[in-house]
Each structure stands twice: as C-alpha cells, then as structure tokens.
Amino acid sequence: MQDIFVKDIAKYKGQEVRLKGWVRNIRSSGKLLFIIFRDGSGDLQTVAFRPDLGDEAFEKAKTLSLESSVIITGTPKAHQKLEGQYELAITSVEPVQIAPEYPIGKKEHGPDFLLSNRHLWIRAPKQWAILRVRHAVYYAICEYLNDNGFFRFDSPILTPNACEGTTTLFEVEYFDEGMAYLSQSGQLYLETGIMSLGRVYDFGPVFRAERSKTRKHLTEFWMMDAEAAYVDHEENMQIQEGLIRHVIRTVLEKCDKELEILERDKEALKAADAPFKKMTHYEAVEYLRERGSEISHGSDLGAPDELLLTEGSAVPVFIEKWPKEIKAFYMKRDPENENLVLGNDLIAPEGFGEIIGGSQREDDYDLLLGRMQAEKMPIEEYRWFLDLRKYGSVPHSGFGIGLERLITWMTGIHHIRETIPFPRMIYRIYP
Ligand code: 4AD
Ligand code: MG
C-alpha cells in the first residue's frame, strides 16, 4: 500500500492509497460518512459508504471525534462539486487514538482562551496557513541573502552588553561573571563577522522587555540581522528593498492557498512589489504636521504617524536621516548634517508599521567613542566592538528585519501574536 500526503493526491487518481493524520471534521448522513481529513500537508474530504465498508467498520469509523488521529485508506477521485479538487472514497478506517471532546469547537472563542490553548489552536486552518507563510518568508529571506553573497554567522543570545539601549534588557545571572543579558539584536557581533566574511547575517530569537501592550510587540521575536562591508547607506536601502520584494514575490508564488484561507488582499501585496518611497525624517514630520499630527522634529514616529505616512501608498516607505538623539549610538553621522544619522526605518503599507531598522555604522574610532561616552556607556564592556574601528575599519551598513512584523503584513492579520508558534508578551508566557 502506498502511503501518501494529501498534497500529492492528484498523482494517485484511481489508485488505492493510505493517508495518516487527523480528523478535522466528521458528519454522517444515512449511508454516508464524511470525514474532513488533514495531515499537515493539506485537507481532504473523505467519504465512506456503508455498504462498501460493511456495518461494523462503518460504525467504528463513526466513533471518530474531532481531532482524533486516524489512518485512512481509499481511492482518490475527482471531487463531485469542486472542480480540480479531489476526494477520497474510503476503503478502510483505522482509528489511532480517539480524542475526547475537543476544547476548540466551532463557536467563537475569545483571544485569551485561544492563546491559553495555543498548543491546540495551531491546528486551525488560519493558524496552519499563517505558520506556512512564516516558513515561506523565512526561506525567502535566507534565499535572497544566500544569492547575494551573505554568509550565515550566528550571534550569541547570552551577551555581556546591550545592543539597543538598556531599557528593554532581560537579565540573567551568569555564574560568577555577574549579569548577562538576552540579546536584543545580533548586530554588534555581525559587525565583527563582516571583517572575516564580508557579508553576514544571523537569524534567531531576540528579546525585549517591552512594556508596550500593542498588536505589534512581542517580548521574544525573531530577527534577521544582515551586515555588509563597504556598503553605504544608499546601497543598504537597495539591499533591503531587494530582499523585501523577493519575499513578497515568493509569498505570492508559494502561498496562494494560504492567502486565500486568510482572505488576504493579494492585489495589495502585488502592488507593494514596486520601487519603494523614500523620505527623510524631517520631510516625514513636515508631511505629518500638514495632515494634523502634533509630532515634533525631534520625535520618534508613533503608530498613528506610521499609518498616516503610508496612507494611500501601495509600497513601503523608507524614513531616513533621523535626529541622532532618538537613534542608537552606533549609527553613522550624516556628513551633511551632524545632528542627523544615516539610519533608516522601513514602514510597511496598510498600517503594518516598522518592519526594518537599519543604518550605516559609525566607523571612526574617535567619533564612536565620543558618542558612547556621551551616552555614559560602559566602555570597557564594548572594547571588542571599538577594536573593529582600530583594526581595518571600513564603511559598513546593515539592518534588522522583525520576522513577525513582516509575517503580519504578508498575511494581513491583525495581531502579531498569531505569527509565531508560541507568543511571549508581557502578560503571557503559557503555554
Ligand atoms: O529597529 P530595531 O530595534 O533595530 C535593531 O535592533 C538593529 N540592531 C537591527 C540591525 O541594524 N541589525 O529592530 C529591528 C526590527 C524592527 O524594525 C521591528 O520590525 C522588529 O525588529 N521589532 C519587533 N518586533 C516584534 N516585537 C518587538 N517588540 C519588536 N521590536 C522591534
Ligand atoms: Mg527600530
């Protein structure tokens, strides 16, 4: 007997095959029993006919409940109603484990209940679709970087110092060495990597003790940091744009079925695959103030500002050249205006907010040291980072993508918590 996956069903028309998985749904009507079967690769309608199966086997099959595990044998044939789709005429049903009443029913559940049952909720069609988009986005990012000469360079998670300021650090007691911190971004380590490999990236969990309880914040999320030697601010943005457009195209190509399930507006995604817009922070503030925002020139953008900035724009918008006070210590000063830094954020359209933070890095030893001293950073802890400006310093740039932010945009879902298998937020650590 050939064991197959649902995704390959079309290749086996008229041939008896065996499938191993779970019961998504089950209902009977007279001599017929319909089992919506799923195996991870897809869903399949399977139909048992009492006279074909025999009374005893038919009755046994009827004991299957939602989410019971089951092995089904049968013959694929064209679906009676849905063109191009298949169903399975069952020849045998072998329950593996009969589940008691499944906690997630067909009625509406609140987010708290669903999150507390996240270990089960991930089986639901929408969650399945989101997790598959996550997989596609992850591989699309790696593919683009690989094709553009970047080497994977894994940065540590336990670190002696902060990358993105000290306000969102998670602390861990580290033996006799005192406090260690969970990494907020691997960037500083990637900067060492380019001096060996030229272009590098990492991809892993990062941690921020964010007090923000918004639909865009997690305390543990996945970041891809990329860093490249001899790349300036302009080229840095070109790389970001190339990468994001590759992700959009890949998701549209590989996740059509998933986007359907999620009711994602695919036209909006297609339209985003065009040259991105660019604005300086100054221009952005002017633009916002003309439209009624009370933002001032020295301020960071809030979520309403990000929304207003991209309203009516099909493509993401780069916001570049930020006031140095509101950006990280490592960003390079703008040679044309020393109050600004050569940093950029990338804001996704449709209100999905900031998906990338990047910059050219300060490569001058004295300027970097001065900036760190001004911010009263513990210089000794960062000696290794300063060394990079002493031994073969080069102009270089990089950026970090928030994987879950990007998935939220690709899938068009409302809240970031559904884009990661087990979300970590201020008020949630279970399961
Ligand atoms: O803008 P951020 O803070 O940039 C850095 O950490 C740089 N060191 C990256 C680099 O240059 N290599 O974070 C990068 C991205 C943000 O644009 C956002 O998409 C995401 O990480 N992000 C979060 N995603 C989910 N939850 C949070 N609390 C996030 N904070 C940032
Ligand atoms: Mg940022």
Examine residue 275 and say whether the peptide bond preceding it is cis (omega within 30 degrees of 0). no
From CA 135, how far away is CA 133, in angstroms rounded?
A: 5
Write out the two tokens for 233.
Answer: 């601010």
Q: Which atom of ligand 1 is nearest to the CA of 399?
A: 11
CATH 3.30.365.10 fits 118-419, yes or no: no
d(CA 88, CA 35): 10
For residue 313, is it left (φ>0), alpha (ψ between -120 and 50) or beta? beta
Measured from the Cα of 208, ligand 1's closest atom is 28
Assigned token pair, 314? 């099909």
H helix intervals, 1-124: 50-53, 55-62, 111-116, 118-121
SS3 426: coil
Q: What is the dihedral of CA 36, 21, 44, 423, to 10 degrees?
A: 80
Count other Cβ atoms within 10 Å, centred on residue 161: 17
Confidence band for 413, pLDDT divided at 50, 70 and 90: very high
> Which amino acid type is present at position 277?
K
Q: Residue 297 and residue 277: Cα distance in Å, rounded? A: 20
| CA nearest ligand 1 atom 6, residue | 185
Atom 9 of ligand 1, nearest CA residue: 400
> pLDDT band at 230, cuts 50/70/90?
very high
**pLDDT tens digits for range 60-115:** 999 999 999 999 999 999 998 888 899 999 999 999 999 999 999 878 899 999 99
Sequence-distant (6+) residues with CB within 8 A of 26 are 33, 34, 35, 36, 62, 64, 65, 66
**Atom of ligand 1 minimally distant from the CA of 405:** 19
Q: Which long-range contacts (CB under 8 A, 24 or more apart) does 130-133 make?
A: 130/258, 130/262, 130/407, 130/411, 130/413, 130/418, 130/419, 131/421, 132/255, 132/258, 133/251, 133/255, 133/258, 133/259, 133/262, 133/407, 133/410, 133/411
At residue 211 the predicted structure's pLDDT band, cuts being 50, 70 and 90, is: confident
- What's the one-letter identity of residue 342? L
Mutation pick for ligand 1 pocket among 161, 194, 212, 223 (CB with most ligand atoms within 8 Å): 223
Nearest CA to ligand 1 atom 18: 402
- Pick the atom of ligand 1 nearest to 353's CA: 19
* Separation CA 233–CA 341 (nearest Å): 10
Tell me what the pLDDT averaged over the chain comes to: 96
Q: Which two tokens stand for residue 89?
A: 């005429």
**How close is the Cα of 141 to the center of ligand 1, in Å?**
16
pLDDT 10s digits, 187-209: 999 999 999 999 999 999 999 99
Backbone angles phi, psi at 25, to 5 degrees: -160, 155
Q: How large a percentage of the chain has pLDDT more than 70?
A: 100
Percent of the chain beyond pLDDT 90?
Answer: 95
Could you tell me the sign of the dihedral formed by the alpha carbons of 335, 336, 340, 344, in that order? negative
Residue 24 in this model has a pLDDT that exceeds 80: yes
Distance 248 CA to ligand 2 centre (A): 21
Pocket lining for ligand 1, CB < 6 angstroms: 163-164, 185, 187, 208, 210, 217-218, 221, 223, 225, 354-358, 398-400, 402, 404-405
Q: What is the pLDDT of residue 422?
A: 98
Residue of the CA atom closest to atom 23 of ligand 1: 402
- Where along the chain do its domains lie? 2-97, 118-419
Helices (H), 339-412: 365-374, 383-387, 403-411
Model confidence over 144-191: pLDDT tens digits?
999 999 999 999 999 998 888 888 999 999 999 999 999 999 999 999
pLDDT at 107: 81
The half-sphere exposure of 223 on its side-chain side, counting CA atoms within 13 A, is 27
Token digits of residue 384: 């290794």
| Average pLDDT for 248-264 | 98
Atom 22 (ligand 1) nearest CA: 402
β-strands 199-207, 151-152 pairing: parallel
Q: What angle do CA 229, 232, 233 make, to 5 degrees?
A: 130
Between the CA of 15 and the centroid of ligand 1 the distance, in Å, is: 51
Q: Which atom of ligand 1 approaches the CA of 163 most closely? A: 8
SS3 33: strand
Query: Euclidean distance between the first and final Cα of the chain, in Å?
Result: 39
Please name every residue paired with 264 in a beta bridge, in sequence order, or none if there are none. Answer: none
Ligand 1 atom showing the smallest separation from residue 357 Cα = 1
- 116 conformational bin, left if phi > 0, alpha if psi -120 to 50, beta if neither: alpha
**How high is the pLDDT of residue 425?**
95
Rounded-to-integer distance, Cα 67 and Cα 397, Å: 49
- Between CA 166 and CA 68 the distance in angstroms is 48
- Give domain 2-97's CATH superfamily: Nucleic acid-binding proteins (2.40.50.140)
Alpha helices (H) along 198-347:
233-254, 256-261, 266-272, 281-290, 303-310
* Sign of CA pseudo-dihedral 88, 91, 96, 98: positive
Return residues with CB closer than 5 A to ligand 2 (ion): 357
Spacing, Cα 330 to ligand 1 middle (Å): 15
CA of 331 to the centre of ligand 2 (A): 12
Nearest atom, ligand 1, residue 223 CA: 21
> Phi then psi for 19, rounded to 5 degrees?
-125, 140
Q: Which residue's structure tokens are 């109050």?
A: 339
pLDDT given at position 162: 86
Q: Ligand 2 mean position to 318 CA, how many Å? A: 12
277: enclosing H helix or E strand: strand 277-280
Query: Coil, helix or strand for 204?
Result: strand
Please determine whether the domains at 2-97 and 118-419 fall in the same fold group of CATH. Answer: no
